[in-house]
């Protein structure tokens, strides 16, 4: 129990307004990317950032909301078929996104700074893909969905999404630093 509390104590919780911005950003990006990538929404990247920026409970809720938006867009706008297997795959995606969040959370506060993003992200990606792979044993589908080119493409989507969100975080951090030092006048 002591090790768990030490890990929890090392995690720096964002301020209230910063946390709210991250919640809005992750949900918005997840929703927008769901319209573009449908089933290839970068849940691993979003789960890793949610785990690192929000903490366990808010991260779980945020990823759940992204999944709900993904499914709503899929069935409401993108024409997903209204069949039992399509719905079951939707549930499998949601459960895999939950696994990704758990994996990212497990590693987000336990490694040195240089691994602060990389390991939680990789753990989230592997957990997400394993969840989907396991679902493939009981749900109808194609083995081609787990081919190296397809997984590589999904990985690339996740890396680009992660890099974009980290760039936004860096710009926001630098802006706050400049404003605090009086280098930029705030309106």
The confidence score (pLDDT) of residue 110 equals 58
Predicted pLDDT at 143: 76
The pLDDT of residue 24 is above 60: yes
Domain at 112, CATH number = 1.10.1760
Give 113's pLDDT tier (boundaries 50, 70, 90): low
168 within domain boundaries:
yes
- Report yes or no on 52 lying in a domain: yes
Tell me: pLDDT of 103 over 70.
yes
Which residue do the tokens 């690339």 mark? Answer: 156
Question: Is the pLDDT at 8 greater than 50, yes or no?
Answer: no
Q: Per-residue pLDDT tens for 29-88? A: 989 988 888 778 899 999 999 998 888 899 999 999 999 999 999 999 989 999 999 999
Work out the average pLDDT over 80-105: 94
What tokens were used for 27? 């949900």
Domain count, the chain: 1
pLDDT in the model for residue 7? 42
> 18 falls in which pLDDT band (50, 70, 90)?
confident
Average confidence score pLDDT of the chain? 83
Q: Is 121 a residue whose pLDDT tops 50?
A: yes
In-domain check, residue 164: yes
CB burial of residue 18 (10 Å; 0-12, 13-18, 19+):
middle
pLDDT at 2 over 80: no
Is 187 domain-assigned?
no
Residue 186 lies in a domain: no
Residue 145 structural domain: 2-180
Residue at 65 is within a domain: yes
d(CA 14, CA 47): 16
Q: Are 108 and 52 in contact (CB under 8 A)?
A: yes
Instruction: Tell me how long the chain is.
Output: 187
In this predicted structure, which of 7-11, 135-139, 150-154 has the lowest mean pLDDT?
Answer: 7-11
- What is the pLDDT, as a whole number, of residue 177? 60
Q: Is residue 35 part of a domain?
A: yes
CA–CA separation, 170 and 187 (whole Å):
21
């Amino acid at each position: 129990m002591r090790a768990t509390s030490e890990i929890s104590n090392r995690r720096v919780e964002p301020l209230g307004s910063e946390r709210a911005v991250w919640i809005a950003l992750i949900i918005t990006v997840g929703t927008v990317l769901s319209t573009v990538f449908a089933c290839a929404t970068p849940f691993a990247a979003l789960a890793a950032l949610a785990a690192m920026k929000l903490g366990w409970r808010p991260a779980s809720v945020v990823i759940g909301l992204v999944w709900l938006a993904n499914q709503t867009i899929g069935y409401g706008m993108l024409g997903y078929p209204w069949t039992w297997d399509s719905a079951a795959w939707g549930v499998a995606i949601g459960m895999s996104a939950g696994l990704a969040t758990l994996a990212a959370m497990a590693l987000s506060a336990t490694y040195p700074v240089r691994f602060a993003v990389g390991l939680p992200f990789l753990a989230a990606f592997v957990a997400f893909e394993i969840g989907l792979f396991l679902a493939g044993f009981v749900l109808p589908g194609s083995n081609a969905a787990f081919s190296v080119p397809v997984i590589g493409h999904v990985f690339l989507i996740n890396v680009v999404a992660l890099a974009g969100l980290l760039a936004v975080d860096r710009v926001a951090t630098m802006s706050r630093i400049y404003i605090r030092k009086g280098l930029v006048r705030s309106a």
